């Protein structure tokens, strides 16, 4: 599945890849053609083709978290682009144990992802081209999940979906912590389209009002 959104400053394109139907998002600065990829989920050739379609230079591999369905293409894309990998340090245990994650789901192991080049912090500002992305630490689905905030867009990984939220039954998950993270997003970000790790985009205001999993926050 492919989709594209354009504003005056940027292009957002994405592909739904892999056995878990995860979303990998490309954000391109229209002026410089520099780009970041949010979650190198799977099917590296598909993601490479997406980048080449926009004549973009991949500058950073941004990871919302380190579950196996969001990191399977990292090794190939790192080798192809030499772009640095950014991840929050609280994801290190998951990142270092991808083989065990595969075993948990009965899947054959894939190449271990390369070493992380930069450990992100909460409230960090990441620049590429003429654009900036702000990090928001949103644990609960996993210990160090990061939501990326840019203009009127949130790249939320598996924190928030249309009509649902991320699962919390995997190691390091907590529904209480997840709801607190989503409450923080609702309070800190007035208006935004949410691009989730699975499923279609949605609006933060819509989820705040109608998502049944957020009833306790209303």
With cut-offs at 50, 70 and 90, classify the pLDDT of residue 1.
low
pTM: 0.95
Average pLDDT over residues 188-216: 94
Per residue in 14-55, pLDDT (tens digit) is 999 999 999 999 999 999 999 999 999 999 999 999 999 999
Average pLDDT over residues 64-77: 95
CB atoms within 10 A of CB 123: 9
- Please list, in sequence order, all residues whose beta carbon lies within 8 angstroms of the beta carbon of residue 100, skipping any fewer than 6 positions away: none
Q: Please tell me the predicted confidence (pLDDT) of residue 112.
A: 82
Of residues 6, 50, 2, the one with CA closest to residue 29: 6
- The pairing of strands 34-38 and 57-62 is parallel
Name the CATH code of domain 2-217 (choices 3.30.1360.30, 3.60.15.10, 3.40.1030.10, 3.40.50.2020).
3.60.15.10
| Stretch among 68-72, 76-80, 100-104, 196-200 having the lowest mean pLDDT | 100-104
Identify the residue with better confidence: 103 or 193: 193
- The pairing of strands 146-150 and 34-38 is unpaired
Which strands make up the sheet holding 202-203, listed edge to edge? 125-128, 131-137, 146-150, 153-157, 193-196, 202-203
Q: Give the span between the Cα atoms of 121 and 178, in whole angstroms.
A: 18
Q: Please tell me the predicted confidence (pLDDT) of residue 69.
A: 92
Decide: 4 and 24 in contact? Cβ < 8 Å: no
Which SS3 state, helix, strand or coil, does residue 182 take? Answer: helix
Which SS3 state, helix, strand or coil, does residue 176 take? Answer: helix
């Amino acid at each position: 599945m492919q989709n594209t959104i354009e504003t005056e400053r940027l292009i957002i394109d994405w592909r739904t890849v892999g056995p878990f139907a995860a979303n990998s998002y490309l954000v391109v600065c229209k002026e410089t053609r520099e780009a970041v990829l949010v979650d190198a989920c799977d099917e590296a050739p598909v993601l490479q083709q997406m980048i080449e379609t926009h004549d973009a230079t991949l500058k950073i591999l941004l990871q919302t978290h380190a579950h196996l369905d969001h990191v399977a293409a990292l090794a190939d894309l790192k080798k192809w682009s030499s772009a640095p990998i950014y991840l929050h340090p609280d994801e290190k245990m998951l990142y270092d144990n991808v083989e065990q994650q595969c075993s948990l789901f009965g899947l054959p192991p894939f190449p271990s992802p390369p070493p992380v080049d930069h450990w992100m912090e909460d409230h960090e500002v990441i620049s590429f081209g003429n654009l900036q992305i702000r990090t928001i630490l949103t644990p609960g689905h996993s210990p160090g999940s990061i939501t990326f905030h840019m203009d009127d867009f949130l790249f939320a990984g598996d924190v928030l979906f249309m009509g649902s939220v991320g699962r919390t039954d995997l190691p390091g998950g907590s529904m209480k912590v997840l709801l607190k993270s989503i409450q923080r997003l609702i309070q800190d970000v007035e208006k935004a389209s949410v691009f989730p790790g699975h499923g279609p985009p949605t609006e933060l205001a819509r989820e705040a009002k109608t998502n049944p999993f957020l009833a306790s926050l209303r």
